[in-house]
Chains A and B, each alone.
Chain A
Amino acid sequence: MDDHHHHSHDHHHGHDHSELSDIELRVRALESILVEKGYVDPAAIDVLVETYETKVGPRNGGKVVAKAWADPSYRDWLRKDATAAIASLGFTGRQGEHMVAVENTPQEHNMVVCTLCSCYPWPVLGLPPVWYKSAPYRSRAVIDPRGVLKEFGVELPETTRIRVWDSTAEIRYLVLPMRPEGTQGWSEEALADLVTRDSMIGTGLALRPDQMVAA
């Protein structure tokens, strides 16, 4: 197998269509043939991925969020120029994608949809959850975000507005969750442990200190 195979196709990144990298094409090709021939069950693959993805390499977003909580000037920078503020911690995407941080407040909750192609900023957030790739999630999140959040166990006050952000190939979003109560004086390292992946895509909240699993 030639690892250096390159497609002659034009790899431009537009809004109008989706894109898979060469390596993603290889994995999808292999999996789809194995499924057709009855060697693997796609649902079983999803379960395996979900089982192992709990321990994912880069989930640098937690450090970004913790720093923003602890350092107001960093938070301002993150809100103005998330790409640069995130890069300053040494976390950069492969394609130099543009990051935007959206901040949750008591008045407004942010939620990100669409991770179907290569839009999902995994160097920052870790692997996307399997359910996130499903069409129903995306369409329902746009139509009924409050209902979708409720299914994730998140009930927000009626007065909190919910904004839904659709990632594109050029812009990826990071939700800056609200800092939990009772964490005054915590180190950035301890704070980062409260930041879940779901809280950074807006389908969850940051953990409260009493929700921390005793390590």
Chain B
Amino acid sequence: MSLPDGLAAAAAPVAPIPRGDDGAPVFSAPWEAQAFALTLALHERGLFTWKEWASALAEEIKRAQAAGDPDDGSTYYRHWLATIERLAAAKGVASEAALAERREAWHRAAHATPHGLPILLENDPLARA
């Protein structure tokens, strides 16, 4: 499956998306594909344009490099995820505080879930209180 044209064109000058010989994106872990899919869905929903997204990604990479990012491609989707988080906060969809709180909830939910069962947010012991 090739990339949506707008996305490929927007990402190219900033940080080209890692792709295989056939042009399809290559992920090195399941969460990367998840972050990728979220971005496509949010764009489709109209939360941001590809141009907007690309300039946010560029900023994110600059910030990471200033903080000592290896800049070898291994952290590509970390920047990508940080970009969606930042855009979601800027658009008033999910504040940093809300994201942090929700991460803790997922962590508690995972710990309360016996190995082998699906991890559901409802399993967070505090959610049931």
Contacts and interface: CB of A to CB of B under 8 A. Distances in A.
Interface in A7-31: 7, 9, 14-21, 23-31
A117 B119 contact: yes
B12 interface: no
Interface string A104-143: 0000000001101101101000011000011100100000
Contact of B82 (A3, A17, A40, A122): A3
B119 A53 contact: no
Nearest to A169: B115
Nearest to A25: B103
Interface string B97-112: 0111011011100111
A187 B92 CA distance: 56
Nearest to B47: A39
Interface in B10-47: 18, 20, 22, 24-31, 33-38, 40-42, 45, 47
B116 interface: yes
Contacts of A26: 81, 85, 99, 103
Q: Which of A56, A117, A122 has the most CB of B within 10 A?
A: A56
Contact of A57 (B1, B27, B110): B27
A149 B113 CA distance: 27
Contact of B119 (A23, A49, A114, A116): A116
A121 B36 CA distance: 21
Size category of the A interface is: 35 or more
A50 to B, nearest CB: 9
A23 B105 CA distance: 14
A211 interface: no
A52 B116 contact: no
Contacts of B33: 49, 52-53, 56, 127
Contacts of A169: 115
A30 B88 CA distance: 9
A29 B99 contact: yes
B126 interface: no
A45 B85 contact: no
Contact of B93 (A37, A54, A55): A37
B66 interface: no
B116 A166 contact: yes
Contact of B22 (A17, A18, A19, A55): A55
Contact of A40 (B22, B45, B105): B45
B96 interface: yes
9 contacts: A1-B96, A18-B117, A21-B31, A30-B81, A31-B38, A45-B37, A56-B27, A57-B18, A58-B28
Given A27-B38, A44-B41, A58-B28, 18 more contacts: A1-B85, A18-B110, A18-B117, A25-B107, A26-B81, A28-B106, A33-B102, A40-B38, A40-B45, A45-B37, A48-B40, A54-B1, A55-B1, A114-B116, A116-B116, A116-B119, A127-B27, A168-B115
